[in-house]
Amino acid sequence: MPLLKDGRIVEDPWVDVPPGEAVPADQPAIVDLEAWQAQRAQLVGRNQAIGLRLAPGDSPDEIAEDLDRFSLITLSFPAFTDGRSYSLARQLREKHRYRGELRAVGNVLRDQFAFLYRCGFDALDVADTVTPKHWRTSISEMGLAYQTATKDGARNVFQLRQRKRDAETKATLLASQYGKHSSADIVQRTITDEFAGRIAVVSSFGAEAAVLLSLVANVDRNTPVIFLETGKHFPETLAYRDQLVTHLGLTDVRSVSPDPGHLSDEDPDDALWRKNPDRCCHIRKVLPLERALDGFDAWLTGRKQYQGGERSDLPIFEAADGRVKINPLAVWSQSAVERWIAAHDLPKHPLAEIGYLSIGCAPCTEQTTATGDVRNGRWAGTEKTECGIHKAKWAH
């Protein structure tokens, strides 16, 4: 069945598994609440994404702790007069802060589309009997101001969306104001003026981390620094973190760990990185970072364009889920990084000295040649190039 999503009609890659039927191992699959509760142990260990189908009478409270596990939740509308799934959507978005995809399935009228959106839905299963043209017309006809009476009830969803728009506007404004300024100036302006008390640095304490951290320390050593302690780092990285913190006098380094429940449920044998690295990064990096950034309006990263791949056209200022993300080193060259480290006599990561040009978790990092892509040694031999913290749904 086609889907109405992001203003377009798209094909649905998910398999909707009927009650009592086997869940396919090789495709993203949607199961009902009963199947999830009965087969939870097997389903959390699978290599494919899992979605949940909730009926109007189901309560998400029963599985509140598990909601993060679902990339998608579908809510059904058995009749167009039955609005219980609107309430369910709001509960998921506002009470449980569910950030995955929310999809409406069933009897929804064209003029309910704006209300769906306001309640936090991302997509709608379009009945086969309805032509895409019909729905395209709906999208163009319906502005969000159409149903003003819904505003109060959907306040949190609105706030989130408004915040997202505000961040986009702010990122654009900062780019025009400071886009040509030096990295040191950008770091100073964002920490002391633009986001005073509302900005954090996210650092891997990897091969080149010393550059951004030294710029930050020059401005304010008390700036919060978030380090994702995945439990999989090289011992050298942890030692280097401590060395650099002391050297630069950083006072607020927050080592953020994964949820122990996620680890025991999904990675009991400590091998998820091999079986499903995306999921491993999700529970060890993406979710902990989302929690750690709560309360901040902006974050600084040390990413650079020369690192290649998706970073090739990295802007200095960008918006990320209601926050501004600042990449002050985006246009630096590799030799500029090396010169900065040497000129400021900064400690070097011990592994960087022996051919690790980009350093992440130990199982997923190899030595690389100096002539290749600096991130070649990350998830070598796989298609994966990023851990996901910059691609997570909440980060856009």
CB of 206 to ligand SF4, least distance (A): 11
Q: Of residues 119, 280, 281, 387, which has the active-site annotation?
A: 387
CB of 198 to ligand SF4, least distance (A): 27
Q: Which residue number has the CB closest to ligand SF4? A: 361
CB nearer to ligand SF4: give 46 or 232: 232
Beta bridge partners of 4: 9, 124
CB of 43 to ligand SF4, least distance (A): 20
Class of residue 140 by CB neighbours under 10 A (exposed 0-12, middle 13-18, buried 19+) = exposed
Beta bridge partners of 320: 323
Angstrom distance (rounded) from CA 91 to CA 180: 44
CB nearer to ligand SF4: give 253 or 361: 361
CB nearer to ligand SF4: give 31 or 359: 359
Decide: 64 and 93 in contact? Cβ < 8 Å: no
CB of 284 to ligand SF4, least distance (A): 4
Kindly state the tokens that stand for 242.
């401590």
CB of 387 to ligand SF4, least distance (A): 5
Kindly state the tokens that stand for 356.
């690790």
Residues of the shown chain interacting with ligand SF4 in the complex, contacts defined by CB under 6 A: 230, 232, 273, 277, 280-281, 284-285, 360-361, 363-364, 387
Angstrom distance (rounded) from CA 221 to CA 292: 19
CB nearer to ligand SF4: give 230 or 327: 230
Kindly state the tokens that stand for 304.
């650079």
CB nearer to ligand SF4: give 248 or 289: 289
Beta bridge partners of 365: 378
Gap between the terminal Cα atoms of the chain: 27
For 379, residues 6+ apart whose C-beta sits below 8 A from its C-beta are 277, 364, 385
**What distance lies between CA 371 and its chain's CA centroid?**
31
Q: Is 387 a catalytic residue?
A: yes
The helix-helix angle for 209-219 and 235-248 (nearest 10°) equals 30
Which has the closest alpha carbon to 213: 181, 247, 238?
Answer: 247
CB nearer to ligand SF4: give 360 or 377: 360
CB of 202 to ligand SF4, least distance (A): 15
State the catalytic residues: 387
